[in-house]
Amino acid sequence: MNDALDSLAFSAVAALALAVILRHFGIQIALPLIAAGAVLSLSPWGPDALSDPEIVLIVILAPLVFGDALSSSFLDLRKVSRQVLLLAVGLVIATILVVGGVAVWVAAMPLAAALALGAVLAPTDAVAVSTVAKKASLPRFVISILEGESLVNDGTGLTALRVAVAAAIMGSVTLLDVGEIFALAVVVGVGIGAVSGIVLSQVLRRTRDSIAGNGLVLVAPFAIYLATEALEGSGILAVVVAALWIAHAQHSEPGASGRLQATNVWKHITFIFQAVAFFSIGMEIPDVFRRLPTGELPLVPGLVVLVLLALIVTRFAFVFGIVGLTPQYRQVDGWGRAAVLISWAGARGPVSGLAAFSIPLTVAAGEEFPFRDVILATTFSIIIITLVLSLTVAPLARMLKISGEDTSTEVRRIDAQLARAALERLDVIIEESEISGRPLDPVVVQRLRDDAVARIEHAENLESDHVPEQDAAHQLSVVSLSMVHAEQTELLRIRDDEGVPDAVIRPIMRDLDVRAAALEAR
């Protein structure tokens, strides 16, 4: 256990250092981190690869999936729930069966091990799909479908993996046994996830200490996962359900400070775990191929090619089957091209790699898990190939002439509505202050009213006498940000030259940081 934790700690430090450098230069982190992990593993001073499946599941996979779900939108998922469920449940089951059949045919794998391979490769990578989809400027509904699918299929795929592993360990199971294991995993997982999400949401709503609240969310995935697994449910499914509920509840409240902190904290945590996952996959690759028995090594290239083809063909067939059998989709302009893009955007990533790691080393009789290293070698190869193929999504979108919607008009309309709501609230506050005998300062009132009116006029004025509206908005953000930076520089000068203590300086700097972050996000 200590060796596993040491390897994990070393991987985290090395992966994070390299990931920061890659992000600084605007480079996608996945493939370079896999390559770096493999190179380090081959070096004499490299650490041992991760070998404890429980460490992988609890320490890496649970928080990684939780972070992905926490950044998702329940409302966006609900709008495309039918498509998402068909892909995340129906396509997952189809993928497991097809890939399992290929593995039995090509490698003569036992059925349970073959289905485990299918379950490992069924989930698509949320981060890779989301990043590519947004860079390709895809329509919002396509992005929602891809993100929703890649999130929900984590739970369904890993729950199916649990069933396949249980079948392999037990050695001999009936269809009824499989149904019972799957039903128990789903019911307990969804139940504990929903209850945990509701309870945590209520606690977060009632606590005024955002640090304590976010600390609770920080440990939540570990506690939820362990509790669910102890009751023989799917810990990963529970984590996904709980995170979706918490995310929806947090974004249904008007308060901002806790939400901002939670979003920033989990954005960083997810980035760290993604980096560690990719780096760990790279570290494991040399060991996996070294461990492969002589008789199994020749199976891998052919298995990789046929499994990859099975994944692509199954995805295309399933997506176009949905479109073909649903008249309302065929009537929407561009759905055929969108279906091509959705079919092609099926990259596998850290969830598949970590799921393969999580397969136990031995079965109940103490024998090695059948074809475990073949499953790992195939999975890692598929991850690398599909990540490379994901780089073609943006060119494919341009070739198909698919582009995202222009939301600037809608954003302006909403901003005008918000400003009007603010003005109405200001009038109520003015009236209440006069009734109470403590009227507001007229200068303050006029400034607030002018700001709101200016926002309305800015939103409704689509054409400026001097510069286009977008240019004016950009100039406003750039100049305002530069002014805030000047304030920050002056504040640091005051601290250094005048000896003002940090107890005074830091709260002021924190306010400036919030203003700067808001301007940078525009």
How far apart are the C-alpha atoms of 118 and 462, rounded to whole Å? Answer: 53
215 and 101, same structural domain? yes
Asked whether residue 95 is domain-assigned, the answer is yes
What CA–CA distances, in Å, run from 4 to 7, 10, 209, 283?
5, 10, 35, 13
494 and 347, same structural domain? no
Asked whether residue 231 is domain-assigned, the answer is yes
515 and 411, same structural domain? no
Asked whether residue 469 is domain-assigned, the answer is no
- Report the pLDDT value the prediction gives residue 307, as an integer from 0 to 100: 96
Asked whether residue 354 is domain-assigned, the answer is yes
Please, which residues bridge with residue 362 across strands? 368
Q: What is the pLDDT of residues 246-305, one digit of tens each?
A: 887 776 555 545 555 666 777 788 888 888 888 888 888 888 888 888 878 888 999 999
373 and 252, same structural domain? yes
The range of the structural domain enclosing residue 232 comes to 2-399
Burial-class residue 294 by CB neighbours within 10 Å (0-12, 13-18, 19+).
exposed
Angle between helices 299-325 and 111-121 (to 10 degrees): 60
- Report the pLDDT value the prediction gives residue 397, as an integer from 0 to 100: 78
Asked whether residue 467 is domain-assigned, the answer is no
218 and 157, same structural domain? yes
Contact (CB, 8 A) for 69 and 88: no
> How many residues are listed for the chain in this entry?
522
List the alpha helices (DSSP H) in 25-121: 30-42, 53-55, 62-70, 74-79, 81-85, 92-107, 111-121
Among candidate residues 383, 399, 415, the one where a domain is terminated? 399
341 and 414, same structural domain? no
519 and 439, same structural domain? no
Asked whether residue 468 is domain-assigned, the answer is no
Among candidate residues 377, 399, 421, the one where a domain is terminated? 399
Burial-class residue 308 by CB neighbours within 10 Å (0-12, 13-18, 19+).
buried
- Report the pLDDT value the prediction gives residue 157, as an integer from 0 to 100: 87
Q: What is the mean pLDDT of residues 163-188?
A: 81
How far apart are the C-alpha atoms of 83 and 30, rounded to whole Å? Answer: 28
Beta-carbon neighbour count of residue 480 at 10 Å? Answer: 15
Give the predicted TM-score (pTM) of the model.
Answer: 0.77
Burial-class residue 111 by CB neighbours within 10 Å (0-12, 13-18, 19+).
middle
User: What is the domain count for the chain?
Assistant: 3
Contact (CB, 8 A) for 60 and 236: no
433 and 392, same structural domain? no
Q: What is the pLDDT of residues 412-422, one digit of tens each?
A: 777 778 888 88
Contact (CB, 8 A) for 469 and 411: no
Asked whether residue 199 is domain-assigned, the answer is yes
CATH of the domain at 78: 1.20.1530.20
- Report the pLDDT value the prediction gives residue 266, as an integer from 0 to 100: 78
Alpha-carbon Rg of the chain, whole angstroms?
26
Q: Which residues contact 197 (CB under 8 A, 6 or more apart)?
A: 241, 242, 243, 244, 245, 246, 249
Closest CA to 441 of 451, 430, 432, 450: 430
- Report the pLDDT value the prediction gives residue 224, as an integer from 0 to 100: 94
Contact (CB, 8 A) for 94 and 322: no
221 and 261, same structural domain? yes
The percentage of the chain sitting over the pLDDT mark of 90, rounded to a whole number, equals: 17
How far apart are the C-alpha atoms of 28 and 284, rounded to whole Å? Answer: 20
- Report the pLDDT value the prediction gives residue 136, as an integer from 0 to 100: 58
Contact (CB, 8 A) for 489 and 450: no
Q: Which residue type occupies 100?
A: G
85 and 226, same structural domain? yes
How far apart are the C-alpha atoms of 173 and 175, rounded to whole Å? Answer: 7
255 and 159, same structural domain? yes
Most confident of 38-42, 46-50, 142-146: 38-42
- Report the pLDDT value the prediction gives residue 253, as an integer from 0 to 100: 58
Asked whether residue 87 is domain-assigned, the answer is yes
Contact (CB, 8 A) for 142 and 338: yes
Q: What is the pLDDT of residues 204-224, one digit of tens each?
A: 777 777 777 778 888 899 999
501 and 365, same structural domain? no
Among candidate residues 347, 371, 399, the one where a domain is terminated? 399
